[in-house]
Chain A
């Protein structure tokens, strides 16, 4: 089955700096890659996603890049703010519908120092 590895496990940055979180996946058939943000005691919230027919996607301060050949994808957060502090999870899935399981990485705890 699919295996998703995520690095680093913890990341501390100064407010205003950029943060990058990287994930690799094993199943070349995976074609949907979402990123979730989970604040302490709360539900994972979808913040951005990318499909395999696209190499990059941006939404304000957040961007995701995908390298299908190398089977890795990354989350980039620019101009970090204290409210960006949370645990971030990458995930991978096959298929274009919601009828497939997500395989999650182990998470990255991001701390933004004011």
Chain B
């Protein structure tokens, strides 16, 4: 049984570009949450998807958007990248109370 998977592992982008990150939830999980973890800080909630709709959103600008597919996998899109978007982006899947994290995508914006 595969756990939560994310792709790509690492990504380097230039300011102003757009990026798409992908997440496949743990088998049987239908809810996907995205978090941004800056260096030396705790994860910050971006948004959550279930039933293919955004259900909750944290304090992030509209440049951050997402999608959930019928197979429960999810994408995080970030437009007009800023240097401050450099971080580890974590996806977490859940069904009951526990959230299980993927390995993350390390995004570097230069």
- Residues of A participating in the B interface, judged by any CB pair closer than 8 Å: 6, 32, 34, 36, 42-46, 49, 51, 89, 91, 93, 96-107
Other-chain residue from A32, A44, A91 in contact with B90 (beta carbon distance below 8 A): A44
- With the chains together, A87 CA to B77 CA distance in Å? 28
Q: How far is the CA of A97 from the CA of B99 in the complex (A)?
A: 10
**A96 to chain B: which residues have CB within 8 Å?**
96-97
Distance A96 CA – B41 CA, assembled complex (angstroms): 26
- The total of chain B residues at the interface (CB under 8 A) is 30
Residue numbers in A under 8 Å from B99 (CB-CB): 34, 46, 98, 102
User: B31 is contacted by which of A91, A99, A105, A106 (Cβ under 8 Å)?
Assistant: A99
List the A side residues contacting B102 at CB < 8 Å: 43
Closest chain B residue, CB of each to CB of A32: B97
Interface stretch (choices B12-20, B44-52, B66-74, B79-87):
B44-52
Chain A neighbourhood of B8, CB < 8 A: none
Contact B55 A99 (CB under 8 A): yes
B45 touches A98 (CB 8 A): no
